[in-house]
Amino acid sequence: MDKFAEICKKIKNMEIRGAEEVAKAAVRALMIKSGENSVKKLVSLRPTEPCLVNAVNFVKSDPKRLGPVALNHFTEADKKIAEYGAKTIEDGMIVFTHCHSTNVMGILKEAKRQGKKFELHNTETRPLLQGRITAKEMASIGIKVKHYVDSAARFALKKADLFFFGADAVTTEGKVINKIGTEMFAEIADKYDIPAYCCTDSWKYDPKTVFGFMEPIESRGAKEVWDKPPKNVEIVNLAFERVDPKLITAIISELGVYSPDLFLDGVKTTYPFLR
Ligand code: RI2
């Protein structure tokens, strides 16, 4: 298998996962094999990932020259998001998160680097258990982690001071699409007055939604949930859900900490190619 095909396979089977990692892998793949067919193949791999589409659109005219520019965008944005987000964490806090997000991890690492003392509570995130990646990564740098099954999230959230989650897409209405369960947890956070921050690179914004295009919600294979279910049992395995902007305290991006509507204004002004 050539290197391009290998990257595509890893994105599809989620060996490479997380919106930002997927987008960066797609940029590297285009730098190896450019052309319209490569672009089509890459954008077909994960339907709910506009970051991949935006990154591919940004580099496709000249991947060798623009690929490094796109990769540098992510590196610089990660640093800023970590810096802005870390300011929301104070000593003694409990932070709750769901799934695994590069930007949430970056914020927690930065807060830890600054010497802040806090605890992380997280969910296992069925069916693929990305919560374990989060727990391992944070425990390895000395952050105390309490790990819960998804259905115990209310219990975990009630004790938390902050809820951080990532994004796979942001629509023109300011809805954030993220791992299934995120809106349910945001509703619980709202009920207990716990600030809910979406932590994301602004290239997750999907310009197609301006024209009424509904961001598709990826439906994944049944086997991820139950290998051999009995006859008459249909497995519903939706990967993502939409989070109402009313439930989002702010979006922490490389542009700053903004309410969802101001975030959208900032994205369109800063990145004309995303209009
Ligand atoms: P970063 C993940 O999706 C999660 O929903 C996570 O919050 C989101 O991508 C953003 O990830 P999946 O690829 O870009 O595990 O912050 O389905 O890494």
CA dihedral 206, 207, 208, 209 (to 10 degrees): 70
CB 258 within 8 A of CB 81: no
Q: In this structure, which residue's CA is closest to atom 7 in ligand 1? A: 166
Strand partners, 256: 253
SS3 label, residue 251 = strand
Q: Over 80: is that where the pLDDT of 215 sits?
A: no
| Residue 168 in contact with ligand 1 by CB distance below 6 A | yes
Q: Is 8 a catalytic residue?
A: no
Ligand 1 atom with least separation from CA of 128:
15
User: Which of 21, 100, 178 to mutate to test ligand 1, by most ligand atoms within 8 A of the CB atom?
Assistant: 100
Q: Over 90: is that where the pLDDT of 211 sits?
A: no
Ligand 1 atom with least separation from CA of 199:
16
Q: Where are the beta strands (DSSP E) in 159-255?
A: 162-165, 169-170, 176-179, 196-199, 240-243, 250-253
| Annotated catalytic residue within 8, 51, 78, 168 | 168
Q: In this structure, which residue's CA is closest to atom 9 in ligand 1? A: 18
The whole-number pLDDT of residue 210 equals: 72
- Span from the CA of 18 to the centroid of ligand 1 (angstroms): 3
| Residue 19 in contact with ligand 1 by CB distance below 6 A | yes
Question: What tens digit of pLDDT does each residue of 150-209 get?
Answer: 999 999 999 999 999 999 999 999 999 999 999 999 999 999 999 999 999 999 999 887
Q: In this structure, which residue's CA is closest to atom 1 in ligand 1? A: 101
Question: What tens digit of pLDDT does each residue of 24-70 get?
Answer: 999 999 999 999 999 999 999 987 889 999 999 999 999 999 999 99
| Annotated catalytic residue within 8, 99, 198, 199 | 99
Q: Is 199 a catalytic residue?
A: no
CB 75 within 8 A of CB 21: no
Tell me the two tokens of residue 194: 């716990």
For 40, residues 6+ apart whose C-beta sits below 8 A from its C-beta are none
| Residue 48 in contact with ligand 1 by CB distance below 6 A | no
| Residue 103 in contact with ligand 1 by CB distance below 6 A | yes
| Residue 130 in contact with ligand 1 by CB distance below 6 A | yes
Question: What tens digit of pLDDT does each residue of 229-260 get?
Answer: 999 999 999 999 999 999 999 999 999 999 99
Query: Hey, how many other C-beta atoms are within 10 angstroms of the C-beta on 59?
Result: 24
206-232 core/surface letters (b: 16 or more CB in 10 A; e: else)? bbebeeeeebebbebebeeeeeeeeee
Ligand 1 atom with least separation from CA of 104:
16
